[in-house]
Chains A and B, each alone.
Chain A
Amino acid sequence: MRDVAVIGMGMTPFGKFPETPISKLGYTAIIEALKDSGIEKQRIEAAFIGSVYGEMGIGQKILMEIGLTGIPVTNVENACASGSSAFREAWLQVSMGAIDVALAVGIEQLSTSISGPIPLNLEDYEVSQGLILPAQYALMSRRYMDRYGITEEQLAQVSVKNHYNGTLNPKSQYRKKMTLEEIMSSRPIADPIKLLECCPIGDGAAAAILVSKEYAKKLGISNPVCVKSSVLMSGDTVYEPEESVWSQKLINKTVSKAYEDAGLGPNDIDFAEVHDAYPIAELLAYEGLQFCKPGDSGKLLSDGVTELTGAKPVNTSGGLLSKGHPLAATGVAQLYEIYLQLHGRAENRQIERNGKLPLVGVAETMGGGGISNLSGNICSIIILAR
């Protein structure tokens, strides 16, 4: 396995852009990534495009607009981790030496197809009992609250923090500060989850150029951002009573493998972007990433550890709650935030400790929901470092 560097990234703003052709969202992010990398598009040897609701052959439709034809193009669907999975395929091919230069994209345009929660399979047993996606997370929240004495206010505090971070990110969908009171008094969706604790539906794309570390060296790029590990794991089945809530064991296992592959531990991680589709998911991610012991995630948050100025900032981009969640775009957008932070290019939300830039960031993406007996559909952990 060769070391792989990320030498360019790009991202469109997230939001609702029903008038923008989906191919334009895609090539806007790709052109930004190309310019950032300084290489010409002809150098790209293979492209991996993640999308959930995109049309057949969506990657080719985007790439033809910028004259990128006659190369292997692979379209990847893997629920909310589709972009992360596309990135992982690009990383694998470069790492294994099949190619030197790869493009990874995550793209989604939901404003033209969906209003309200993400649609689930109507033939599914749990969906037929009335399950909707927020209810899945509500069930996790309730058990977790009852087990560890976490309060509704503590859960809402995740949304307060991420909405604040989002005000500092010009590409975030909301960019609006939300008070605890506003969140607590927003419309109830599935108790204890309220409207302002649900990530918004939106559109957007993000792209990354990956090359072997030797190739980056030849390009004259010293000290690039490198992929330390990238682990993808599907969820476990649950037919019997167990104490874990949905996706909890999956995230714990995926993180452990990613730390092992990278030869790193929780103390080496400077910051994280996690899949906060709903607040409980961020709290479970703190534990999964081993930032705290089981049950201590609420305290970690109240102590300010995961705030922008804390010891382990989480979701400096605003997270899914503020930045938005155009499904497949999310995973690559999380990496985009880590990439900016590692380069000191995150402007008003830059993480700095004693005048030093962070060195290691981790992205956690959780896919799925609404498949009976499956606890988490897919989890991706990617660690980037300089």
Chain B
Amino acid sequence: MYNLEKLIVPDSHDDNLKLNCSYCPKCERKYFPLKEICADCLDSLTNIEINSNGRIFSYTTIRTDSPFYKAPYTLAFVDLDEGVRLLARVNVESHQQLDSNKRVKGVRTPITTKDGETINAFEFKIIEEV
């Protein structure tokens, strides 16, 4: 299993959760999840911290158990404002409705696997409009 915890910047607060991202200074290109070399120039990548605010591109609720998790849970492609697309869980509360283009932000969350193990991961929450 991919180590999801290493993608979270350890001392970042849930109000503004930051994620680790690979970056090529020469090509000004971001890569998520972490990667060793730039696919364009083949140089080694450096690590940068990016903000986790973004927008839902698409989403699905999975109704059948996956190799790691018991159903149901919701996954979404999130387009971060920092110009990164990533797939992660979304926590939709009962009074909320998920739509494409909805604003979301990352938060830390423990996720329990089918084996009963708890992993330190992150998920997205809908930003309530005031």
Interface residues of A (CB under 8 A from B): 116, 119-120, 122-132, 134-135, 138-143, 146-147, 187-193, 237-242, 245, 372-373
Contacts and interface: CB of A to CB of B under 8 A. Distances in A.
Interface of B: 1-2, 4, 29-33, 39, 57-64, 66-69, 73, 75-77, 79, 83-85, 87-89, 99-100
B2 A237 contact: no
A122 B61 CA distance: 20
A330 to B, nearest CB: 23
Contact of A139 (B2, B73, B75): B75
Contacts of B62: 130, 132, 135, 138, 189-190
Contacts of A125: 2, 4, 33, 87
17 contacts: A123-B1, A125-B33, A128-B4, A132-B64, A132-B66, A135-B75, A188-B63, A189-B62, A189-B64, A190-B62, A190-B63, A190-B64, A191-B63, A193-B60, A240-B30, A241-B57, A241-B79
A189 B63 contact: yes
A238 B1 contact: no
Contact of A128 (B1, B29, B30, B73): B1
Nearest to B101: A146
Nearest to B34: A125
Residue among A125, A138, A191 with max Cβ neighbours from chain B (10 Å): A125
Given A127-B66, A129-B75, 20 more contacts: A119-B67, A122-B1, A124-B2, A126-B87, A128-B4, A129-B4, A130-B62, A131-B75, A132-B62, A132-B64, A139-B58, A142-B60, A187-B64, A189-B63, A190-B61, A190-B64, A191-B61, A240-B83, A241-B83, A241-B84
Contacts of A242: 85
Give the top 5 A-B pairs by smallest Cβ distance, nearest first: A138-B60, A241-B79, A128-B2, A143-B58, A146-B100
